Structure 1
């Protein structure tokens, strides 16, 4: 199966405010008792979104105006804390395809890139402006353009930053290292058959 080249992401956005949002808040530890990542969407920001009795805390993710959003707009140092891969997995499996913020914890950023979910950075001023724009017009799509290195909201264009290695991996369909390895199964079998100690 061919790996998708991710050159841009277009979709409506949801603002998730706050600095230093850590992976424990993104996916509480009790949701980590799983064999696969398939059902992690239900735990995304669970304690931020719901009371103990399951009633809503009216988190932006659950607001009707942001239903179907595929871009998450976040604050500085997003994804800090533990290195659990479950955090970006829960976001990706909830339908999000890109995250726009100011800065990201290194391991969270790497895990997100390996899922084909770009995390791009704006200046603090531009990030705050985008938050306000999304809140004022939730139906307007955001375009995250990795080739142009821009984030566009209507007529407003922001310059974004992203490490070149990650950006190029996404653009050139080289972000899924496991997928790339699996695609070479014939060559792997050929090499294994030539090794005397592989029987």
Structure 2
């Protein structure tokens, strides 16, 4: 199992390549991006320059932050414009979705799901699955802008009640309603877990 990471250097953001119908979602993307940059962290994301994905990247870059985009070749003209991709600090082009997700996981110290569609849902669920299987202990966040993720959170609770989320203590994503609170809460949560780990080590000496 991966050792608990007590230093956050990069945050992976999963979100829609479309803007959605609620203007608050695009605003949240830009705000989260700015917050990532303001805290001196790097954004790792799916490389899209449209929709909420583009808003997050733009928020980071406009605040002087660093962005790593990871995108499969076949999506470069669907989720992004090649000209805009040139503005990223780092662009990783992968052969397929599997390689993309693996590289995003490797490059990231925490994961945030903003509003999005089936792809966004699949990505954050896979990260939670890996946590349940003990493959990592990195922070996971639902950016619950205007209650977007409420149906998903209700489903997760239903699964727990029905006994299908085993080792539930390993699957405890943070639920944060405001974009500006996401990075501070990730950092605070990670610092607290780091202190708990130190206490556990000391108690065993």
TM-score, normalized by the shorter chain, greater than 0.5: no
TM-score, length-scaled by structure 1: 0.32
TM-score, length-scaled by structure 2: 0.31
Decide which structure has greater helix share.
2
